[in-house]
Structure 1
Amino acid sequence: MKTAIITDSTAYLPAALMEELNIHMIPLAVALNGVIYDEEIDIRSTDFYDKVRGDGPLPKTSQPPIGRFIELFESLKGTYDAVISIHLSSGISGTYAGAVQAGKMVEGIEVSTFDSEISCYLQGFYVLRAAELAKEGATPDQIMAELDDMKLTMRAYFMVDDLTHLQRGGRLSAAQALIGGLLQVKPILHFKEKVIVPFEKIRTRKKAMNRIVAMLADDAAKMSLEAAIIHGNRPEDAEKWLAELSELLPDVEFTISHFGPVIGTHLGEASMGLGWVKRRTN
């Protein structure tokens, strides 16, 4: 059985890697100054952050139209027997629900959908694992079972420079943002039950980073991990953190990725995240 792997743009996987593994991507969109852009196609992260600096209104983000899913599913019929469509958390976007609905409207190809309950390169870890298994000839059921197993060890934590982006975008309550701002707190955030919530309140960014690293080190002592450093238009900071982490935890396989336009709209520039999952052992 030949299985196609689909994801959305918020996995922020490199185009060359998606081409190599034959991963299909459906973009989310961001509306900025009256212009609608498909992220990772019409607009890249650096250009996006350049355009949104200042106190103007936040860009608007939108999920892919269902018709785009249907069109892609239909185009894969004949070449593939099945599709696995992997998307950002259903708690922050309707993208997953759109894929589910579209899958019910297409005949002649088996469609399975997976809610990553997360986003960015951590979502990408699921996509890459699925693509590897599909390439090896695994069945959709086998791939979905592996993705479910990955959820047991998936961890992700991040810090934002300004909580008002999350509050204005509806991803954090006004009270949480206000308290954080008044106290100059740099909370560690994470996904819980599919939505973004505070994990711990820490006074400085450096202490927050150290806390996240301590949690990574604790898991790394128990299992072989792959990890991703994710930045909001701060590649130099990400490279510096990578050098520190690689020296501290040489057995962890690290990757650097970014918060693109859609996720960056809600987190803001200078955000930084670190996530990890148990590495595939077979």
Structure 2
Amino acid sequence: MKPYTITTEVTADINPTLADELAIKFIPMAFNLDDVPFKHYTDFREMAAKEFYERLSQGQVSTTSQPNPTEYIDYFEPLLKDGSDILHISFTSGLSGSYNSAVIALDMLKEKYPERTIICIDSLCASSGQGLLVYEAQNLQKAGNSIETVAQWVEDTKQKIAHHVIVSDLFHLKRGGRVSGATAAVGSVLAIMPVLRIDEQGKLEVISKVRGKKRAIAYFIDAFQENADAMHAQNLMISHSDNLDEALKLKSAIEQLNPEHTVFINEISPVIGSHTGSGTLTLFYIRK
């Protein structure tokens, strides 16, 4: 079997310890904080998550930009030169143009390296939903599966990745047009938090609302038990933006349901956090 490398963007929101253990190439992405440029890497080398969310709370504004095709070529070409095929699992095209940039780059590289197998998949996933997909893909790679087999599994599984997202900071959703100004104002006063999911086109969709943190945890557990084989051990991922206490409570509740579940906790990166703000809590798993 020919060697291949799984690649993805840092929007996969996998914690630094786990990222270091994986043979996955994570492509950094840019964000600007009050017009000062930064790049996010899995080790948060340019800005820690806590500092980023503190700056947001102080009123600084963060914007993001996708890698262009030339940047993707710079990340991909050394792998091809070293004799590795590439399976790229991209951040959802429903929220970013990253997938299109990656496709352009890889199409150019296919002409230059026709002997290499190069596959690019639109994950239709975000944050640790994307992370869970690439994590399980690498588990299959470690088990000896070919690039074609793993790619087919990703295609077959990507829309089974459940995304449950509860956001407490409505300002950033309002700025991005996800909720109305009136909803944001009322929600902030009444502690109403919108519940979002990633739909079939890989876009964010508001599907419900909860009031208060206790109800948020209960919502996650109810959704998990309803949509997953909750009693069968599986890997799950939780991501949060400066909301570790609630993430730990959610992890504990899931482990009480079944101690055999493996639950990873990740911090939401500045790239994703630019659009969610602080206080976000998420749960990702594979639906039955």
- TM-score normalised to structure 2 length: 0.87
Q: Secondary structure of 2:103's partner? A: helix
- In structure 1, the residue matched to 2:258 is 249
2: CA distance, partners of 1:116 / 1:270:
25
Instruction: Identify unmatched segments of 5+ residues in structure 2.
Output: none
C-alpha displacement at 1:130, in angstroms? Answer: 2.2
C-alpha displacement at 1:163, in angstroms? Answer: 1.8
Q: Does 1:210 align with 2:214?
A: no
2: CA distance, partners of 1:239 / 1:136:
31
- Percentage identity across paired residues of the two chains: 27
RMSD between superposed Cα atoms in Å: 2.1
1: CA distance, partners of 2:150 / 2:37:
35
C-alpha displacement at 1:223, in angstroms? Answer: 4.6
- In structure 2, the residue matched to 1:261 is 270
Judging changes above 3 Å, is the alpha-carbon distance between structure 1 residues 228 and 35 closer, same or farther for their aligned structure 2 residues? same
The question of whether the paired residues in 2 share the 8 Å contact of 1:226 and 1:253 is answered with yes
C-alpha displacement at 1:129, in angstroms? Answer: 2.1
- In structure 2, the residue matched to 1:237 is 246
Structure 1 residue ranges, 4+ long, deviating more than 6 angstroms after superposition: none
Alignment of 1:118-133 (within 5 A): 118-133=125-140
Judging changes above 3 Å, is the alpha-carbon distance between structure 1 residues 21 and 186 closer, same or farther for their aligned structure 2 residues? closer
1: CA distance, partners of 2:271 / 2:251:
24
C-alpha displacement at 1:24, in angstroms? Answer: 0.8
2: CA distance, partners of 1:211 / 1:231:
16
- The match for 1:198 among 206, 214, 222 is 206
Q: Does 1:83 align with 2:92?
A: no
Alignment of 1:90-109 (within 5 A): 90-106=93-109, 107-108=112-113, 109=116
1: CA distance, partners of 2:125 / 2:247:
20
Instruction: Identify unmatched segments of 5+ residues in structure 1.
Output: none
- In structure 2, the residue matched to 1:163 is 170
- TM-score normalised to structure 1 length: 0.89
C-alpha displacement at 1:158, in angstroms? Answer: 1.1
The question of whether the paired residues in 1 share the 8 Å contact of 2:165 and 2:282 is answered with yes
Q: Secondary structure of 1:103's partner? A: helix
1: CA distance, partners of 2:251 / 2:153:
28
Corresponding letter in the other structure for 2:239: I
Q: Secondary structure of 2:160's partner? A: coil
